[in-house]
A and B are shown apart, each in its own frame.
Chain A
Amino acid sequence: MTEPSAPMTPEERDALASELALGLLTGAERAEALRLQLSDPAFAADVTAWERRLAPLHHDFAEHRPSLEVWAGIAAQIEPKATVASGVTRQLRVWRASALVSGALAASLAFVLLFRPPASLPPQIVQAAPANQMAVAQMVGQGSNMLVAARYDETTAQLNLRAENLPQGDLAPELWVIPADGKPRSLGMISARGTTRMAVSPKMRAMLENGVTLAITMEPAATAPHAAPSSAPVAAGKISII
């Protein structure tokens, strides 16, 4: 659960990346590879490289015309006042699958949450650590200038986030914590630019543990907070306790 059993050689890592990109894996093997994709930027880069290698094959799928009802169904779902709540369970399932599907994170950024153990570290170390972690962000978000850094102070239960270059538009970024049960819980909306400070509720505090995933999805701000995300994350990363 916490540490990989044995470190993989670069060859093994690339072989696993090829299997994930091609879609050969199922069950526990697939889950483990997807988890690795979220936590290991080098592995994520291998998967992306395999997706690029295989991409030209897409052009050999033959075209077929769908029936006219398909567009009617899409149009109904993108109406301005679409009922977001109606399909929460289904959306959650779709989100979980799509969040983990390789392409979803290729253009994303690393999301680093830094814990400060109560009164144990001098402030300078806390200040210095983000720069260290940013290197990870750069690797995962190659080609993208999106960045979210987060710092959580356990003594005050205050979460501070700094966002740069998140998508702007009608939708706003919503922060989720995804604990071991795999169900995203909303921590609330955050600002697409600059700093957001939020107080974390006691229930949510317990979920902010080492290795747990944080993610950001773009959601309608008016109806926040949401029971479940409606789209794949634009950013995801693991909590590191320092």
Chain B
Amino acid sequence: MSTAEPSSGPDAARSKLIDALQAVAQQDRAALRQVYDMTSAKLFGICLRISNDRDAAEDILQDVYIKVWNRAGRFDAGRASPITWLCAIARNSAIDWRRASGRVATAPEEAAFAIADTRMRADQTIEQDQETTRIHQCIDTLEERQATAIRAAFFDGLTYADLSARMDVPLGTMKSWMRRGLQRLKGCLGDD
């Protein structure tokens, strides 16, 4: 559970978001608007990146907030940060859309590396910032192709089939790179 809450800065934004989500769980429409104002740019960024289609991304975003409206009662501030919970809903929704639309990957492989230059962190606590830094340090210890594949899967929502086509390797090879890379990542993060 959280400890002291400062009156301003990222921790204050976080508690404000938690309060708003709890009000959304009581079907408070003004609270959903507040959640939307605080998070829509972030969640739209996720939808846009993964769908690579502005109109689709707006449809997905609309669905995301309807899901938030319906599921806010299940958000547990003791188990997840509110922004992470929201981001996961957005990413999963965008990935579902990609799967359903049969969209194939068009962005070049290098796109996965460009991510580092566009980081937006206004809503993060110091702890989350450290976690983000840490996972990047761990991904950087992997073989380059493993790191590229993991980033492309996370940020572009690519499947094994997409990755194998984009990186021009057989599916089986892609799979074994990925599995080895992910297990090394887990070892580096050392959370077990």
**Interface: A69 (CB within 8 A):** yes
**Interface: A163 (CB within 8 A):** no
Residues of chain A in range 140-162 having any CB-CB distance to chain B below 8 Å: 143-144
Q: When A60-B119, A62-B120, A64-B48 are in contact, do A74 and B62 touch as well, CB less than 8 Å?
A: yes
Q: When A74-B32, A231-B67 are in contact, do A22 and B150 touch as well, CB less than 8 Å?
A: yes
Asked if B182 and A15 sit within 8 Å, CB to CB, the answer is yes
Residues of chain A in range 57-115 having any CB-CB distance to chain B below 8 Å: 57-67, 69-71, 73-75, 77-78, 93-94, 97-98, 101-104, 107-108
**Interface: A131 (CB within 8 A):** no
Which residues on the A side are within 8 Å of B62 (C-beta)?
70, 73-74, 77
Asked if B67 and A98 sit within 8 Å, CB to CB, the answer is yes
A206 CB, min distance to chain B CBs, angstroms: 30
Which residues on the B side are within 8 Å of A25 (C-beta)?
159-160
Asked if B131 and A56 sit within 8 Å, CB to CB, the answer is yes
Which residues on the A side are within 8 Å of B13 (C-beta)?
none
The residue on A at minimum CB distance from B178 is A24
Q: Which of A35-43, A47-55, A119-127, A178-186 contacts B (4 or more CB under 8 A)?
A: A47-55
| Complex: A108 Cα to B71 Cα, angstroms | 12
The residue on B at minimum CB distance from A69 is B58
Which residues on the A side are within 8 Å of B150 (C-beta)?
22
| Complex: A74 Cα to B40 Cα, angstroms | 12
The residue on B at minimum CB distance from A71 is B36
Q: When A63-B44, A64-B44, A169-B73 are in contact, do A55 and B96 touch as well, CB less than 8 Å?
A: no
Q: Helix, strand, loop or mixed for chain B's interface? A: helix
Identify B135's interface contact among A56, A61, A66, A71, CB under 8 A: A56
Asked if B66 and A77 sit within 8 Å, CB to CB, the answer is yes
| Complex: A167 Cα to B27 Cα, angstroms | 12
Q: Which of A25, A63, A103 has the most CB of B within 10 A?
A: A63
Identify A103's interface contact among B88, B123, B128, CB under 8 A: B88
Identify B25's interface contact among A53, A94, A169, A231, CB under 8 A: A169
Identify B76's interface contact among A93, A144, A230, CB under 8 A: A144
| Complex: A144 Cα to B42 Cα, angstroms | 28
Which residues on the A side are within 8 Å of B128 (C-beta)?
56, 59
Identify A57's interface contact among B121, B135, B178, CB under 8 A: B135
Which residues on the B side are within 8 Å of A75 (C-beta)?
29, 33
**Interface: B8 (CB within 8 A):** no
B82-107 CB mask vs A (1 if < 8 Å, else 0) is 01110111011101100110000000
- Beyond contacts A24-B163, A101-B92: 11 other A-B pairs, Cβ-Cβ < 8 A, are A19-B179, A22-B154, A24-B158, A53-B191, A55-B131, A56-B128, A62-B49, A62-B120, A64-B44, A143-B79, A232-B70
6 contacts between A and B (CB under 8 A): A18-B182, A23-B159, A54-B135, A55-B84, A59-B120, A65-B40
Interface residues of A (CB under 8 A from B): 14-15, 18-19, 22-26, 49, 51-67, 69-71, 73-75, 77-78, 93-94, 97-98, 101-104, 107-108, 143-144, 167, 169-171, 218, 230-232, 234
5 smallest CB-CB distances across A and B, nearest first, come from: A231-B70, A58-B87, A62-B118, A63-B41, A56-B131
